[in-house]
């Protein structure tokens, strides 16, 4: 199996957001590659944020039923469950790297999963955080 790649919420949302055509194409391609290679990783945080955003906040919201169907599909991926000690670790990473707490939670989940890379547009492309490489698929 190839090296694991953690997918942040924004990439997953763009893969389904018809109102963001430019980013949708890049995000959908990145997600497709992870499906083909079988090395995509998500967290419970990402799945929750995805559901809320695609059913309420994007330009062309998806029905709750369709969003649940998409979520069910992604349960085939490795999904990291957030545990109480992850919250403390995220607070330390937030402080050390001067990033948002929610981004630090993504980093912790990526670390816990064994991922070598995080696909996101929320952190600095090329940055190494706690040994995990950040890649923005819209810049790469």
Q: Which CATH number fits domain 5-135: 3.40.50.2300, 3.40.50.1010, 3.40.50.720, 1.10.150.120?
A: 3.40.50.1010
- 7 exposure class (CB count in 10 Å sphere: 0-12, 13-18, 19+): buried
All structural domains of the chain with their residue ranges: 5-135
Q: What CA–CA distance (Å, rounded) separates 22 from 83?
A: 35
Q: How many CB atoms lie within 10 A of CB 31?
A: 21
pTM value is 0.94
**pLDDT mean by block of 10 residues, the chain; 140 residues:** 91 92 93 97 98 94 97 97 96 97 98 98 95 92
Residue 135 CA: distances (Å) to CA of 37, 50, 122: 17, 19, 10
Q: What CA–CA distance (Å, rounded) separates 105 from 85?
A: 11
């Amino acid at each position: 199996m190839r090296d694991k790649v953690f997918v942040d919420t924004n990439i997953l949302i763009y893969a389904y957001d018809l109102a963001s055509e430019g980013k949708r194409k890049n995000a959908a391609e990145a997600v497709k590659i992870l499906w083909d290679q079988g090395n995509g990783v998500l967290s419970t945080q990402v799945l929750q944020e995805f559901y809320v955003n695609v059913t309420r906040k994007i330009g062309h919201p998806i029905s709750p039923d369709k969003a649940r169907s998409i979520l069910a599909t992604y349960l085939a991926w490795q999904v990291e469950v957030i545990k109480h000690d992850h919250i403390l670790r995220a607070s330390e990473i937030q402080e050390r790297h001067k990033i948002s707490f929610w981004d630090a939670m993504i980093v912790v989940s990526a670390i816990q999963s064994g991922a070598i890379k995080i696909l996101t547009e929320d952190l600095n492309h090329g940055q190494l955080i706690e040994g995990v490489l950040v890649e923005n698929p819209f810049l790469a």
